[in-house]
Chains A and B, each alone.
Chain A
Amino acid sequence: MKISVRDVGEAKVVEVDGEVELGTSPALRRTLLETLLTAGKVALNLKAIRYIDSSGIATLVEVLNRSQHLQKEFVLFGLSPAVQEVFRLTHVVRIFRVFQTEEEALGDAQE
């Protein structure tokens, strides 16, 4: 799994490429929690995630809760079919703000 972070205006975009599972989700958790501390809005691109399990979903839920505690925004975009299937199985899609594209996900934050 590869993770990268880039600045877009006042937001940060986190890109993940690969498989998010028990062995790799701690690295994603660490990156997302650290990134939340340095940006008002964090958008996670899920387009290149080929696999995600319940530990990956738990990571996303934890980061969402932390963002709310910090009064920051954590949004998702570009859900791959693999991610969509697991979101459907776990019924978590309703708790996240999910967008199709990076532009939609960032909104005013990219200006």
Chain B
Amino acid sequence: MGDSPRLEIKFSVPSDPRYLCVVRGAVGTLAAVIGWEESDCRAIALAVDEALTNVIRHAYHNRTDCLIQLECRESADGLEIALLDNGDAPDRSKICARELGCDQPGGLGTHIIKQVMDNFSYEESPQGNRFVASKRLRKTQ
């Protein structure tokens, strides 16, 4: 017998903010099933929401008629998230360019992702821009 099958969900999400709540609900529920506590589930859903928001705002410039592919996968030790879009590539000089606690608005989304997730990265490929993030479940005895 091999490993037990693990849950994997794939969304094709329109780049319209009104769908963000649907994704948050699904990701938060998946995180709870994997084993995170309620506050962690909220934080993970927030991090995914921020990644989607970044795509809507910066890759698609608030156009609502584009698509974002979202994959959420239960891994051996936690959760993996991938987003794929066909918009403009992220400007790496602007990622986390503003300090946390700064009294100017904006620039906090990627800081939130960085604090919540264990790893994240941006990749560019012929298929589009790919954002990948993961978080390990630390089991307490």
Contact = CB atoms under 8 A, between A and B. Distances in A.
Q: Do A and B bind each other?
A: yes
A90 B39 contact: no
Contacts of A81: 39
B50 A54 contact: yes
Interface residues of B, number: 27
Contact of A90 (B17, B21, B42, B112): B112
Contact of B53 (A55, A61, A92): A55
Interface of A, secondary structure class, is helix
Interface of B, secondary structure class, is helix
Interface residues of A, number: 26
Nearest to A94: B101
A64 to B, nearest CB: 7
B80 interface: no
Interface in B106-140: 106, 108-109, 111-112, 115-116
A107 interface: no
Given A53-B46, A82-B42, A19 B53 contact: no
Interface of B: 16-18, 20-21, 24, 39, 42-43, 46, 49-50, 53, 56-57, 100-101, 103-106, 108-109, 111-112, 115-116
Interface of A: 19, 21-24, 51, 53-55, 57-59, 61-62, 64-65, 81-82, 85-86, 89-92, 94-95
